[in-house]
Structure 1
Amino acid sequence: MFEKLRIIFSIPELRKKCLLTLGLLAVYRIGFHIPLPMVATNLGESGGAANEFFEKVAVFAASDLRQATIFGLGIMPYISASIIFQLLGSVYKPLEELKKEGEAGRKKLNEYTRYLTVAICLVQSYMYLKFMLMSGGSTGYGNINPNFLNADSTGLFWGWQVVAVLVMTCGTVFLMWLGEQIDEYGIGNGISLLIMAGILAQMPKALYILVQNMKPELTGLSRGQTGVETLILLIVLFVLVVFGVVFITLGQRKIPTQSAKFTRGRRVYGGSRQHLPLRINQAGVMPIIFASSLLMIPGMLFAVLAGWFESGGGMFKALNLLSLTMQDQASYFFNLFYVVLIFFFCYFWTAITFNPKEMSDNLRDSGTFIPGYRPGKRTTDYLEKVMVRITYVGAAFLAVVAIVPTIVYGSLGVDFAIASFYGGTGLLIAVSVAFDLVQKIDSHLVMRNYRGLLEGAGGGVSPVV
């Protein structure tokens, strides 16, 4: 491995790209330690339910919302804008036609995405600032430096509110620009690398919590106690989960295809046998993101409804019980709803991103067909049937990976910051981005007649289903 790293940094062009990427990622991490001028303390220091909420959202959003910094919103507003336009591109005809215009259409969509990102940032930063103002302290302004309050200390001066919203919005726009610079001058997908850096930056804290709570003795796998056998179990479980994520992420269903023969002059072209790769996990990490977002709503909604009734009444007890159940990630009903939503969004997102009719038309136009199936409707039906079957496998895999952290968190009682690295959004993103980065580096090495970093996975060989 050290020899391969030496080869990477011995190539001037590749060395320049890698150092530039590392430098821009360092700038990204430095910005997370620059607080807003009007903030007096970290939000995580307030403790209670707010701290737990910020911790869970921080893992989900690949940013630390417990600290009101210039990069507090992270890159998620841009991701949200991209998802919105991707969904609209499937149902809104002008955007669908714009996607087919090639490079010019892609640039126009990127421009619209940037505009929507700014709008989302303005709304999110204002709501985030209001939530921060209303938390902590007897007056509700415990997190704000007293020097920035009004003369009568009734709230933050409106001018400073505008400054805070603009600073956080500009921070996200700057991160968007950093990602584009990595795409153009660095190596790898810039936005994905920023998200991955935000996820991995939480690993030292998780390791510190694990070491701090560890006891050099046997505890019998007692809940809340990290003994020797608990540590061994966590290590083995982490290796198995990563192996499963890698296997399914690279897994493909290869459909055999054959091109038609045609004669041009005295030469016969075509007739070659190839394959059409269909990913098992076609939806990627999006089902977990959607399911996690929706599961935050019922618990908060039931808690608000319970506040409308008297504390001793039957409706209050029933709504409060539902609220606690939907907020308890270790409960049976929470995980059941989680799995159901993941299956639903797997098929929903696959139906949006995978168009069997369009793929069938492309095969027919290129003179390629699937043996045993006529071009047109029969090929479309066959592709749709195959995708439905492999999506079921991908959805089951995502459901297992998504509930592993809740099982570890609920059964072993380890900190949620540690359990979050055993599955869910963070692990899937980290593995996918790591393989994409390895393949980008391999493309530079292969052009110079060097061997790839990873002969199996890095070279593009995927398990076949």
Structure 2
Amino acid sequence: MLEKLRVVFTIPELRNKILLTLGLLAIYRIGFHISLPMMNQNLAPSAGEDTASQFFEKVSLFAASDLRQATIFGLGIMPYISASIIFQLLGSVWAPIEELKKEGEAGRKKINEYTRYLTVVLCLIQSYMYLKFWLMAGGEGEASKVNPNFFGADSNTLFWGWQITAVLIMTCGTIFLMWLGEQIDEYGIGNGISLLIMAGILAQMPGALFDLIQNMKTELVGLSKGTVGIETLIILIVLFVAVVFGVVFITLGQRRIPTQSAKFTRGRRVYGGNRQFLPLRINQAGVMPIIFASSLLMIPGVMLQFLSKSFTPGTFMFSALNGFGSIMSSGTSFVYNMMYVALIFFFCYFWTAITFNPKEMSDQLKDHGTFIPGYRPGKRTADYLEKVMVRITYVGAAFLAIVAIVPTIVYGSLGVSYSIAGFYGGTGLLIAVSVAFDLIQKIDSHLVMRNYRGLLEG
């Protein structure tokens, strides 16, 4: 392996791409620690903010940021991801966007331009909501998140001019992250946005590991909740290895459908007639179903507990809203996990239906003179491809569901913090391994083009 890594850095073009990517990721990490000047930092959440703090901790896993601290990259890359998803969905239901997708490179550039405009709009809205309802929120007796030097005249809140400045700073921060991702795509190696998300996850892993070691007892304490002993550490290690193995196995997993090209004669020679395979990925949707499902389930808990404050404590409505909000926010209840699994299955099939078009694939096979033995080109081939995709998507959705509920089970049964459970046995690890595997495959493609062995070859 060391020899293979040496070969990677002896290729000038590949070495420059890797160093540029590392440099841009370092810039991202530096900006991650630059805080907004008008905000106090490192404030522990008050009793009424525990739910919102847990919400931000989970959202930060996918946003390449830490929403619990006000930094110039406070929103992370999530607005850009949201805008990309919106246009991905519109491309399947709105004719103008669908036509642009069919125009090739010119249409893709136009869609990227619209995506950037929508990202700016989402940044302005989300940064203002984040500033208004989190950074500037606070009741009597709670430590203010706003630096008193930036208060307005005769006011205990942030001056309106500084509010606009904070919104613009966070918006520019997200746009800068979007630009960094595009530079990595064009001049570096790997998918820029995915690498930013992975860098954010990996940056929080050492802190989670340090907390685990600091609170661990080097003795057998049983699997008692809230106490981390040798048994708990062994379980976390086993989960780590199992998730890494499972992610690699499912990522490589394919359903190979045999295809055969038609024969044709030109002169005295016969061409075509070759047997090939049409690979269909088991996990066609990637990690998007987990992101969608977790995002939807986090919102009701926060909203219900926020609405419960409108009623008098002790009343039926207050108890009902607060109780159901606690169930949805804790992430450890049976109802929450069942809803989580159901949403993951739904979004797996939903996202696969958007990204995989059996009719279009059938038409492409027909245009290239290729057919699936036993099935006529056209509708029968499309129906067969759809039936196969429905079956293998069930396997991919089941795997994602198992990986997704591992952190909630560990968090609820063992009592370790969510950061430890999430990063070392679940979604965070799934994203990190998937992106790292994709990065290695792209490095391998550069090595194979130059007649070197790939990193994954024996």
Q: How far did residue 51 of structure 1 move?
A: 2.9
The aligned counterpart of 1:7 is 7
Deviates most, 110-119 or 427-436: 427-436
1:141/1:119 Cα in 2 relative to 1: closer, same or farther (>3 Å)? farther
What amino acid maps onto 2:408 in structure 1?
T
Find the counterpart in structure 2 of residue 71 from structure 1.
73
Residue matched to 1:36: 36
Match of 1:462?
none
Question: Equivalent residue of 1:201, what SS?
Answer: helix
**Identical amino acids, percent of aligned pairs:** 79
Find the aligned partners of 1:134 and 1:145 in 2 and give their Cα distance: 10
Q: Are the aligned partners of 1:44 and 1:51 in contact in 2 as well (CA < 8 Å)?
A: no
Q: Please name the residue that 1:325 is paired with.
A: 327
Deviations 1:436-458 (A, max 9, x none): 111111112122221111117xx
Q: CA deviation at 1:421?
A: 1.6
Q: Which amino acid aligns with 1:208?
A: F
Instruction: Quote the residue 2:339 is aligned against.
Output: 337
Larger deviation, residues 274-283 vs 324-333: 324-333
The offset of 1:310, in angstroms, is 4.1
> Is 1:245 the equivalent of 2:247?
yes
**Could you say which residue in structure 1 is the equivalent of 2:433?**
431
1:405 alignment partner in structure 2:
407
Alignment of 1:181-260 (within 5 A): 181-260=183-262
Tell me the equivalent position of 2:316: 314
- Counterpart contact for 1:421–1:427, Cα < 8 Å: yes
Cα deviation, residue 111, structure 1: 0.6
Residue type of the alignment partner of 1:40: N
Aligned to 1:265: 267
* Structure 1 gap ranges (5+): 457-465
Which amino acid is 1:382 matched to?
Answer: Y
The amino acid of 1:160's aligned partner reads W
Q: CA deviation at 1:44?
A: 4.7
1:388 Cα deviation after fit: 0.7
| Structure 1 counterpart of 2:93, from 72, 80, 91 | 91
Asked whether the equivalents of residues 215 and 227 of structure 1 are also in contact (C-alpha less than 8 Å), the reply is: yes
Would the alpha carbon gap of residues 279 and 44 (structure 1) be closer, same or farther in structure 2, given more than 3 Å must change? farther
Three-state SS of the structure 1 residue aligned to 2:257 is: strand
Counterparts of 1:388-403 in structure 2, within 5 Å, are 388-403=390-405
Q: What CA distance in whole angstroms lies between the structure 2 residues aligned with 1:316 and 1:189?
A: 46
Read off the aligned partner of 1:42 and give its amino acid letter.
Answer: N
Checking the alignment, whether the CA contact within 8 Å between 1:43 and 1:51 is kept in structure 2 is no
Structure 1 equivalent of residue 351 of structure 2: 349
CA distance in 1, matches of 2:36, 2:414: 38
Work out the CA distance in 1 between the residues paired with 2:365 and 2:414. 51
Aligned to 2:417: 415
> What is the rounded CA distance, in whole Å, between the counterparts of 1:166 and 1:278 in structure 2?
44
Once the two structures are superposed, what CA deviation does each residue of 1:370-409 show, in whole Å capped at 9, x if it has no partner?
0000111111111111111111111111110100000111
Structure 1 stretches of 4+ moved >6 Å = none
Asked whether the 8 Å contact 1:43–1:68 carries over to 2, the reply is no
Which sits farther off after the overlay, 240-249 or 423-432?
Answer: 423-432
Whole-angstrom distance in 2 between the partners of 1:66 and 1:324: 20
> Which letter does structure 2 place at the counterpart of 1:7?
V
Amino acid at match of 1:374: R
- Alpha-carbon separation, structure 1, partners of 2:123 and 2:223: 45
- Secondary structure of the residue aligned to 1:431 is helix
Mapped contact 1:339–1:399 kept (Cα < 8 A): yes
Question: Pick from 102, 105, 126: which aligns with 2:104?
Answer: 102
Q: Does 1:156 align with 2:158?
A: yes
Q: Which of residues 279, 284, 294 is equivalent to 1:277?
A: 279
What SS does the aligned partner of 2:247 have? helix
| TM-score normalised by length of structure 1 | 0.94
Asked if residue 59 in structure 1 is aligned to residue 54 in structure 2, the reply is no
Give structure 2 stretches of 5+ with no counterpart: none
Aligned to 1:22: 22
1:118 paired residue among 94, 107, 120: 120
After superposition, give the CA deviation of every residue in 1:97-122 in whole Å (9 maximum; x if it has no partner): 10011111111111111111111111
- Paired residue total: 456
Q: Which amino acid aligns with 1:241?
A: V
SS of residue in 2 equivalent to 1:72: coil
Displacement of 1:314 after TM fit? Answer: 3.4
The farther-off stretch of 52-61 and 166-175 is 52-61
1: CA distance between counterparts of 2:235 and 2:400?
22
Contact 1:134 1:140 in 2 (8 A): no
Asked if 2 retains the 8 angstrom alpha-carbon contact of 1:35 and 1:70, the reply is: yes
C-alpha distance in 2 between matches for 1:17 and 1:450: 17
Over the residues paired in the alignment, what is the CA RMSD in angstroms? 1.7
Contact kept? 1:445, 1:451, Cα under 8 Å = yes
Task: Point out the more displaced range, 23-32 or 314-323.
Answer: 314-323
Q: CA deviation at 1:321?
A: 2.4
Task: Please tell me the residue identity of whatever aligns with 2:373.
Answer: P
**What SS does the aligned partner of 1:263 have?**
strand
Q: Which amino acid aligns with 2:282?
A: I
For residues 140 and 231 of structure 1, what CA distance do their matches in structure 2 show? 37
> What is the aligned partner in structure 2 of residue 381 from structure 1?
383
Distance 2:169 2:301 in 1: 32
Deviation track 1:28-70 (CA, whole Å, cap 9, x = no partner) reads 0000110111012235555751433322222242311111111
Return the alpha-carbon distance in structure 1 between the equivalents of residues 157 and 304 of structure 2. Answer: 30
